[in-house]
Amino acid sequence: MISAKVFSPEGVERGTAELPEHLFGAPVNESVLFDAVQSYLGNRRQGTASAKSRGEVSGGGKKPWRQKGTGRARSGSNASPLWVRGGCVFGPKPRDYGFEMPRKVKRLALKSALSLKAKEDAVMVVEPPALDAPKTSEMAKYLEKLGVADKKCLFVMAVPEDRVLKSLRNIPNVRTALSAQLNAYELLDCDKMLITPDALQRMKEVFSK
């Protein structure tokens, strides 16, 4: 049985919670994880880098000097890549770096990432403190009680909770995510995965289909 420690709103450990075997006990497929990370990062790129070729730079046209008799190397255009302010050889052009992955492969990558975190004992089921208003200091103290204040954390919720989101957004190294929208890159990019009980239940419902 795969389990994770459960922490109360006061930051006190109070038992364990069973993690679904089909999500947190799957074989880790490193090849699929690599493709998932490449796809995620590629889709985030703007791809707007551009350099001018010799046909696009200013100049060209007239031959700089006659072919023979000057003692200098022959040259046909000042737009040549050999010249200062000449064109760029094989320079970047606007392009789309992203690529799509099949839905089943994405799901396999997610299961591999979740299983890897479970093997590293990096999954914690937490019940966030009840906040009357957004309070960064309260959430910072809560993370200290959990012993993860100095680690890169991913806080996973079932639904967007405004008070929790606003309390966490100014804490360094803490990111938030919705359980139904998790991806392999976010999981691999964190040291600890903090998931609420509702989010864990939501994951069972969404990713069991």
Q: How far is CA 41 from CA 47, 72, 113, 127, 204, in A?
A: 11, 49, 16, 31, 27
| pLDDT, tens only, 150-196 | 999 999 999 998 999 999 999 999 999 999 999 999 999 999 999 99
Give the span between the Cα atoms of 7 and 196, in whole angstroms: 10
pLDDT value at 1 more than 90: no
Domain boundaries, the chain: 3-46+102-206, 51-91
pTM for this prediction: 0.84
pLDDT value at 197 more than 90: yes
| pLDDT, tens only, 106-118 | 999 999 999 999 9
pLDDT exceeding 70 applies to what percent of the chain? 100
Rounded average pLDDT over 62-87: 94
Give the span between the Cα atoms of 103 and 113, in whole angstroms: 15
| The pLDDT of residue 159 | 92
Cβ-Cβ contacts under 8 Å for 206 (sequence gap 6 or more): 179, 180
DSSP per residue, 149-190:
TTS-EEEEESS--HHHHHHHTTSTTEEEEEGGG--HHHHHT-
155 close to 167: Cβ distance less than 8 angstroms:
no
Q: How far is CA 31 from CA 16, 49, 55, 71, 199, in A?
A: 32, 29, 41, 58, 28
pLDDT value at 208 more than 80: no
Q: Given this structure, which CATH class describes domain 3-46+102-206?
A: alpha beta
| The pLDDT of residue 70 | 95
| The pLDDT of residue 207 | 85
| The pLDDT of residue 5 | 93
Strand 13-18, strand 123-126: pairing:
unpaired
| pLDDT, tens only, 116-132 | 999 999 999 999 898 88
| The pLDDT of residue 130 | 87
Residue 209 — pLDDT band, cuts 50, 70, 90? Answer: low
Strand order in the sheet with 3-7: 13-18, 3-7, 123-126, 192-195, 153-157, 174-178
| The pLDDT of residue 33 | 96
Name residue 153's beta-bridge partners.
Answer: 174, 192
pLDDT exceeding 90 applies to what percent of the chain? 89
